[in-house]
């Protein structure tokens, strides 16, 4: 009858968020003690759930399709590991980074609400709860983007808020249409009722709305306008969470769930997702080449790398999907690492402009090691993890005779490499400007996260075959076997 750890991954961050809000009124520094604990417990639980058989959890004892149900399958397990792992390193990093802000307990509360929302999104078994958890996570992220209340941050936050709300409403609209057709919002029940989605025009319309909404949340071109503003404006741990996890849990995960598990992956829709991915990869990297603002450059690369993920998923073959998921995992590690690095540079030097940096290798050695690890991973140089996932995606594209997509993906890989050679050339090597003679390395909690993420980048590159077998192929199976998903949730044979 399900595993008790599943609702706890959502409930514990929420409980701690409230506790932090209450005690924070009397003791402002409480967040830096309770916050990491509140993320560590779900992280432990998600590793525990990795060894559990696929199962469902019935909220309050009401059986599906009437009651609310949480579903744990291979994809959910993978997403739980990504979300809570990155959240754990970000919140450890935030202990030192956020100490300069006055209302830091509010930061921790919002952060935990965001984590709870994302855990809910990946575990939720019906469309409406997916929407509700998505809104919890989004609302927390809207507030976090503007957390510094400087004018640029507010402007970016407002833009993100408006576009994000439009996406949410469109998703709700699609849910309403699906409910109108099927009379249920339980995903497995919807999948059971709809059958072939391409036969019903209303379902196609709903699917189009879903793709619009989730692509906007994922920041795919042409819905990317908010991303390069919002991600750089947030404080560094939040940037790492937004770029590392939020766009994946709210965008790509939800897109996969709806197109594969609910709608049964019609080939036309898959090719739309694939071409969205190709265009995002190309446009993102071209826009990134001209940037000198470090965090903005990284944000454009997020668009580009999410394009790779969408390309892998859109191929629809087991190899393509597994490679796409592997790249999603890798992107979570190296992009959050790079954003945390950028935050460390910004805190030490006071600028994000690459042209004003230089020679920081001598003064900030650990941050620079992190930057090198992250840059090498994202540019796809062996033996770091980015290399394997990119080459697997390109190989999968060639195997399904998408030669143009494979060619563009290869070109984008070189563009990424060029862009990060620029980053390294301007930030860590070269002459050290005089004003930076007295710089000190960042405090321990920041360097700990940077080193840990760098090591994860290296290790997941070295042992990628093991990871593919234990994480990504089970997730791919969960995506592709729609009938197994339906029978697991509804408890019918099949």
Partner 1 sequence: MKKEKIKDLIEDPNIGMTLIVKTVARITIALILLYGFYIIIYGHLTPGGGFAGGVILAIAYTLMMLAFSRHIALVKLSDFWASMWDNIGMLAFIVIGFVGLGFGYFLFNFLSKGKPFSLVSAGIIPLLNLSIGIKVGAALYAIFIGLSIYGRLVLEEEE
Partner 2 sequence: MLLYILDMLVFGLGIYCLIAKRHLIKKIIGMVIIEYSVNLFLILVGYRINGIAPILSPGENPIVFSQVAVDPLPQALVLTSIVIGLGTLALMSAYSIKLYEKYRTFDMSEINRLKG
**Interface residues toward partner 2, by CB under 8 A:** 128, 131-132, 135, 139, 142-143, 146, 149-152, 154-158, 161-162, 165-166, 168-169, 172-173, 175-176, 179-180, 185, 228-229, 233, 291, 293, 296
Stretch that binds partner 1, among 18-26, 48-56, 147-155, 283-291 (CB under 8 A): 18-26
CB of 235 to partner 2, least distance (A): 16
CB of 174 to partner 2, least distance (A): 10
CB of 84 to partner 1, least distance (A): 18
Give the residue ranges of DSSP H helices in 380-433.
385-399, 403-427
Minimum CB distance to partner 2 smaller for 34 or for 144: 144
For tokens 């909404």, the residue is 213
Could you give the C-alpha distances from 12 to 27, 78, 83, 147, 230, in angstroms and in order?
21, 19, 15, 23, 28
Minimum CB distance to partner 1 smaller for 25 or for 100: 25
CB of 48 to partner 1, least distance (A): 16
Single out the residue of 95, 116, 192, 229 nearest to residue 482, CA to CA: 192
Q: CA-to-CA distance for 108 and 90, rounded, in angstroms?
A: 11
Peptide bond into 383 cis (omega under 30): yes
Q: Does 25 bind partner 1 (CB under 8 A)?
A: yes
Give the interface size with partner 1 as a residue count (CB under 8 A): 17
Other beta carbons within 10 Å of 176:
14
Minimum CB distance to partner 1 smaller for 61 or for 431: 61
Which of residues 3, 9, 11, 281 is near partner 1 by CB under 8 A?
11
CB of 176 to partner 2, least distance (A): 5
Phi, psi (rounded to 5 degrees) for 441: -65, 150
Could you give the C-alpha distances from 362 to 6, 196, 358, 438, 493, in angstroms and in order?
46, 61, 10, 11, 64
Q: Does 151 bind partner 1 (CB under 8 A)?
A: no
Single out the residue of 472, 492, 479 nearest to residue 78, CA to CA: 472
Minimum CB distance to partner 2 smaller for 150 or for 268: 150
Minimum CB distance to partner 1 smaller for 58 or for 381: 58
Per CB under 8 A, contacts with partner 1 among 52-91 are: 57-61
| Integer Rg of the chain from CA | 21
CB of 302 to partner 1, least distance (A): 33
Stretch that binds partner 1, among 4-12, 77-85, 178-186, 440-448 (CB under 8 A): 4-12
Q: Does 7 bind partner 1 (CB under 8 A)?
A: yes
Q: Are 320 and 470 in contact (CB under 8 A)?
A: no
Q: Are 285 and 314 in contact (CB under 8 A)?
A: no
CB of 109 to partner 1, least distance (A): 9
Q: Write out the H or E segment, with its range, that includes residue 55.
A: strand 55-58
Which residues contact partner 1 by CB under 8 A? 1, 4, 7-8, 11, 14-15, 18-19, 21-22, 25, 57-61
């Amino acid at each position: 009858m399900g595993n008790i750890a599943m609702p706890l991954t959502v409930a514990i961050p929420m409980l701690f968020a409230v506790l932090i809000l209450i005690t924070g009124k009397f003791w402002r520094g409480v967040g830096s003690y309770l916050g990491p604990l509140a993320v560590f417990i779900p992280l432990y639980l998600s590793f525990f759930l990795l060894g559990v058989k696929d199962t469902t959890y019935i909220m309050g004892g009401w059986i599906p399709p009437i009651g609310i149900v949480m579903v744990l399958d291979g994809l959910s397990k993978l997403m739980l590991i990504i979300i809570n792992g990155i959240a754990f390193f970000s919140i450890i990093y935030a202990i030192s980074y956020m100490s300069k802000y006055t209302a830091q307990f509010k930061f921790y509360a919002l952060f935990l609400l965001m984590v709870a929302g994302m855990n809910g999104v990946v575990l939720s078994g019906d469309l409406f709860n997916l929407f509700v958890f998505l809104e919890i996570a989004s609302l927390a992220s809207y507030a976090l983007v503007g957390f510094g209340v400087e004018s640029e941050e507010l402007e970016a936050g407002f833009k993100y808020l408006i576009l994000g709300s439009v996406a949410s409403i469109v998703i709700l609209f699609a849910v309403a249409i699906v409910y109108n057709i099927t009379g249920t919002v339980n995903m497995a029940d919807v999948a059971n009722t709809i059958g072939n989605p391409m036969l019903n025009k209303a379902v196609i319309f709903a699917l189009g709305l879903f793709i619009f909404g989730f692509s906007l949340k994922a920041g795919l071109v042409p819905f990317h306008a908010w991303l390069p503003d919002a991600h750089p404006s947030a404080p560094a741990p939040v940037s790492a969470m937004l770029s590392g996890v939020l766009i994946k849990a709210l965008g790509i995960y939800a897109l996969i769930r709806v197109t594969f598990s609910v709608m049964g992956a019609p080939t036309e829709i898959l090719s739309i997702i694939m071409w969205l991915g190709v265009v995002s990869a190309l446009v993102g990297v071209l826009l990134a080449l001209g940037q000198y603002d470090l965090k903005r450059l990284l944000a454009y690369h997020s668009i580009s790398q999410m394009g790779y993920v969408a390309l892998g998923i859109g191929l629809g073959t087991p190899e393509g999907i597994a490679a796409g998921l592997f790249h999603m995992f890798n992107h979570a590690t190296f992009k959050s690492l790079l954003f945390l690095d950028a935050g460390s540079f910004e805190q030490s030097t006071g600028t994000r402009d690459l042209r004003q940096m230089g020679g920081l290798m001598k003064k900030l050695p650990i941050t620079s090691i992190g930057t090198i690890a992250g840059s090498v991973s994202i540019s796809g140089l062996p033996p770091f993890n980015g290399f394997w996932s990119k080459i697997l995606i390109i190989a999968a594209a060639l195997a399904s005779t998408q030669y143009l997509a494979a060619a563009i993906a290869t070109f984008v890989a070189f563009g990424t490499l060029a862009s990060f050679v620029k980053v390294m050339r301007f930030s860590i090597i070269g002459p050290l400007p005089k004003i930076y003679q007295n710089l000190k390395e960042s405090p321990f909690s920041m360097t700990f996260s940077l080193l840990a993420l760098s090591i994860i980048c290296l290790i997941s590159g070295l042992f990628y075959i093991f990871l593919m077998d234990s994480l990504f192929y089970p997730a791919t199976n969960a995506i592709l076997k729609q009938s197994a998903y339906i029978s697991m949730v509804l408890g019918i044979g099949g």
